[in-house]
Structure 1
Amino acid sequence: MNMGDTFDAVIIGGGACGLMCAVQAGYLGKRTLILEKNEKVGAKILISGGGRCNYTNLYSGESNFISANPHFCKSAFSQYSVEDTISFFETYGINGQEKTLGQLFPESNNAKDIVRVFESLCADLGQKILTNAEVKEVVKLESGDFKITYTLANKLKEVIAPSVVIAAGGLPIPKMGATDFGLKVARQFGMKITETAPALVPLTITGKDADWYAKLSGNSIFCRVSNDKISFEENILFTHWGLSGPAILQISSYWKPGEQIRIDLLPNDNITEIIQSQKLVNGRKTLLGLLSDLFTRKFADALDKYLPVEKNLASLTREDLLLIDQQIHKFDVKPAGDKGYDKAEVMRGGVATDELSSKTLESKKVPGLYFGGECVDVTGWLGGYNFQWAWSSGFVIAQNI
């Protein structure tokens, strides 16, 4: 780095939040340095949505986020909205196409296009990016500036700046370099951390029922999955270790070990009414035959563990009907655990929101220190919500550094 290089802020982490922060700062004539420990910026952007990048959600709002303070994200979203995100990307040639439930993907279906926009803009706006740069220490100097020590090409280097932005992400996907760096910095400066846990993560089943789930591996069923806090209607996926799929990932963010979840396997119909109407048409039809019309044959066969599938419809008793209704509409599952940060899409918890100004995302205790993106206690649903928080928080910080 040239001795004459001066920066308004050093951004630690070249993911969605850090990149947006650098670009928005550049628009305002501010100069930033991004320090990214991976070989390339935007690592999680590139793998998100199977490499297609679901970059926002049309319906994104505070109700789609989990936080100790559910209103905390309102200010950021009012400053930089979904419409602002869409407009930003359209300006640089990325038009969104809606898939399901408001999820917006680039028309090209290529996450590389999203990263390319930021790399190009950072170059045009004079924002410096250093990759393979691992930050070792952040120190607040008596002058009020920060000294950031990092390694680059096995050499220890330093940079001084008046502001530091922690956009280092959370704990998920450690093989991509994810660490608890942001949380460590917060603790170092005496800031509280809201308890962290994997979120948007598959759930595991062990014990006597484990084989039943494993045999159904690959089967996907549209369901309503709920607990006492919330419910989601999307597909679930049976796996060798338990349950995954969008509805399970969603509920996992609201689930804690020891709790049950309830699955309605036929959320938009009433199994008892279907049986009664089918009985009038063909009472000799077996329950298995009926279930095979409603689900995959493999799943219908597997229900013989819980239901009298060999009985024909006409011979089902009142007790049978109650049992069928219970198992189809109130299938209770007690997961043993989750697949951990290796398989989690995001982290729940993080830097406590009451440590930060909701308007600027600056630390209340440490002037010039900002936190954005996943390391803050703001966790979005599956489907582009976490990216919207990253863009919005990056924008907000850029206005204030």
Structure 2
Amino acid sequence: MATNLIKQTDFDAIIIGGGACGLMTAVQAGFLGKRTLILEKNDKVGAKILISGGGRCNYTNLYSSAQQFISANEHFCKSAFAQWTVDDTISFFETYGIEGQEKTLGQLFPTTNKARDVVEVFTGLCRDLGQEIKCDVTVKNIDKSGDDFIVTYEIGEKEYQLQTPKVVIASGGLPIQKIGATDFGLRMARKFDLNLTETAPALVPLTITGKDQPWYEQLSGSSIFCRVWNDRISFEENILFTHWGLSGPAILQISSYWRPGEFIYIDLLPNENIADLIQQEKEANGKKMLLAYLASLYTRKFAEALSDKLPVEKNLASLTKTDLENISALIHEFKVKPAGDKGYDKAEVMRGGVSTDELSSKTLEVKKVPGLYYGGECVDVTGWLGGYNFQWAWACGFVIAQSL
């Protein structure tokens, strides 16, 4: 493949990746009178924005703070969040025509419920500010050349090289390959001898295999509000039974804190005490069968699934103290040992990435490679489900742009 001669650009920076972080970096740089070039692998920018929130894009979370993020350095993201707040995100989008509406647990969606409106804010601003976007580009390499960088990329069958003073790697993490995810950011980190925090799928469904799988399979499609916890954290949201295991918001959340071989625990009736409820019902109608009573709390399908674990053939009046203890243990401390997770193609985000020790928390510049920046999902900062990772991406874009 023929390579065009290295061309010195007049861009202040080249941004690798046209996702949330890359787009925000370009726009914020434009506000400061700096010119950037976005190189995007897909045929259009904002692929992950477009599929987020079921195509509606939960673009921030009202409760976002450092507490909702996982990192080897729990304090690292505080500087970026101090520079670009949730209020800044809300104000930014309102300025460009997107009003927010709060949904579950602080998630903010456009009132139009259209993720493409979020992307169009950025593409419109890039156009107005003279920021250039090239799509269908595969970036192959980044080399250091004196104080500058040489970025090698392909468009079709042609290879190009551009010389630039600064490079921003905002190429995302390993999820989701079908929308263009690659390991480019991690490969470049290794090339520049940067330490990586171990990566793994996060916000991902968990699998159940072996003798327990048929039990979950029979409940496929059933959704129940629960509290899910381990020794690190707990979440109260819905879980979803599937033919291969467990999904739903609470499971996705706990997955980021789960490690292979560990148990998770599920309270199938949070904020209630099943033994007290049964006692109350027994006083009113002791002849009611346990199966019928459970079906009044859950669905008939779920109650019947519990038949091999609980004495559902008994009426409430005949339940012994041991029966009640077993019922309470199962309902309030349902124990699950996942076999694994569904991997990067089903994960919302990647956990781990470029070690925060390698970056300035104030600018996100690589300490030992001046002019090179990392932002967004490439970095070892992973948010909860519900708009938190977008808030991190916007904050990264703002912070990096100030330093370009």
TM-score by length of 1: 0.99
Corresponding residue for 1:326? 329
Report Cα offsets for 1:156-186 as digits up to 9, x if no partner: 0111111000000000111111011001111
Which one of 274, 278, 282 corresponds to residue 275 of structure 1? 278
> Whole-Å Cα distance in 2 between the matches of residues 17 and 245 of structure 1?
26
Residue 358 of structure 1 aligns to a residue in which SS?
coil
Task: Tell whether the 8 Å contact from 2:204 to 2:348 is kept in structure 1 after alignment.
Answer: yes
CA distance in 2, matches of 1:4, 1:124: 24
Deviation of the 1:206 alpha carbon: 0.4
Residue 101 of structure 1 aligns to a residue in which SS?
A: helix
1:139 equivalent to 2:138? Answer no
Give a deviation string over 1:234-253, Cα, whole Å, max 9, x none.
00000010000000000000
Q: 8 Å contact 2:216–2:243 — kept in the other structure?
A: yes
Match of 1:66 among 61, 65, 70: 70
SS at match of 2:193: coil
Match of 2:229 in 1: 226
- Shift in Å at residue 307 of structure 1? 0.2
Equivalence map 1:175-324=2 (5 Å): 175-324=178-327
Give the Cα–Cα distance (whole angstroms) in 1 for the partners of residues 357 and 74 of structure 2: 11
Give, as a single letter, the amino acid of the residue that structure 2 aligns with 1:335.
Answer: P
Cα distance, 1:150 vs structure 2: 0.4
Give the deviation of 1:37 after TM superposition: 0.6
Letter of the 1:109 counterpart: N
Partner amino acid for 2:108? L
Specify the alignment match of 1:390 in structure 2: 393
Alignment check: 8 A CA contact 2:226 2:239 kept: yes
Q: Output the aligned Cα RMSD.
A: 1.1
1:22-62 alpha-carbon deviations (Å, 9 max, x no partner): 00000000000000010000000000011000000000000
What is the rounded CA distance, in whole Å, between the counterparts of 2:68 and 2:378 in structure 1? 17
Partner Cα separation in structure 2 for residue 54 and residue 377 of structure 1: 21
Q: Which amino acid aligns with 1:257?
A: P
Cα distance in 1 between the residues matched to 2:223 and 2:382:
26
Q: Among 105, 125, 128, which residue is 2:132 paired with?
A: 128
Q: Aligned partners of 2:56 and 2:234: how far apart in 1?
A: 27
- Partner residue in 1 for 2:53: 49
Question: Which residue of 2 is the match for residue 97 of structure 1?
Answer: 101
How far is the alpha carbon of 1:5 from its aligned partner?
A: 4.8
User: Please, which runs of 5 or more residues in structure 1 have no aligned partner?
Assistant: none
Q: Is the 8 A contact 2:72 2:380 kept in 1?
A: yes
Of 4-13 and 277-286, more deviation after overlay is shown by 4-13
1:15 aligns with 2:27: no
Structure 2 residue 128 is the aligned partner of structure 1 residue 113: no
SS in 2 for 1:393: helix
Whole-Å Cα distance in 1 between the matches of residues 106 and 383 of structure 2?
A: 14
Counterpart CA distance in 2 for 1:302 and 1:4 is 67
How many residue pairs get aligned? The number is: 400
Match of 2:343 in 1: 340
Amino acid in the other structure paired with 1:66? I
Deviation at 1:153, TM superposition (A): 2.7
Given that residues 376 and 396 in structure 2 are in contact (C-alpha distance below 8 angstroms), is that contact kept between their aligned partners in structure 1?
Answer: yes
Tell me the CA shift for residue 396 of structure 1: 0.2
Question: Separation in 2 of the partners of 1:42 and 1:62?
Answer: 25
How far, CA to CA, are the matches of 1:44 and 1:52 in structure 2? 11
Runs of at least 5 residues in structure 2 that lack an aligned partner in the other structure = none
The one-letter code sitting in structure 2 at the alignment partner of 1:146 is: F
Quick one: which of 62, 78, 81 aligns to 1:77? 81
Q: Does 1:168 align with 2:155?
A: no
For 2:296, give the aligned amino acid: D
Measure the CA separation in 1 of the matches of 2:179 and 2:104. 28
CA distance in 1: counterparts of 2:269 and 2:77, whole angstroms: 35
Q: Distance in 1 between matches of 2:370 and 2:8?
A: 25
Tell me the secondary structure at the aligned position of residue 137 of structure 1.
Answer: strand
User: Deviations 1:36-94 (Å, cap 9, x if unpaired)?
Assistant: 01000000000001100000000000000000000000000000000000000000000
State the partner residue of 1:353. Answer: 356
Counterpart AA for 1:262: Y
Match of 1:30 among 11, 34, 52: 34
Does the CA contact (< 8 Å) of 2:9 and 2:162 recur in 1?
no
Q: Which amino acid aligns with 1:370?
A: Y
Once residues 70 and 172 of structure 2 are traced to their aligned partners in structure 1, the CA distance between those partners, rounded to angstroms, is 16
Counterpart contact for 2:8–2:162, Cα < 8 Å: no
Q: How many angstroms apart in 2 are the aligned matches of 1:353 and 1:296?
A: 46
In the alignment, the residues of structure 1 paired with residue 266 and residue 216 of structure 2 have an alpha-carbon distance, to the nearest angstrom, of: 14
Q: Deviations over 1:306-332 (max 9, x none)?
A: 100110000000000000000000000
1:4: how far off? 8.1
The aligned amino acid for 1:230 is I
CA distance in 1, matches of 2:32, 2:163: 20
Q: Is the 8 A contact 2:167 2:371 kept in 1?
A: yes
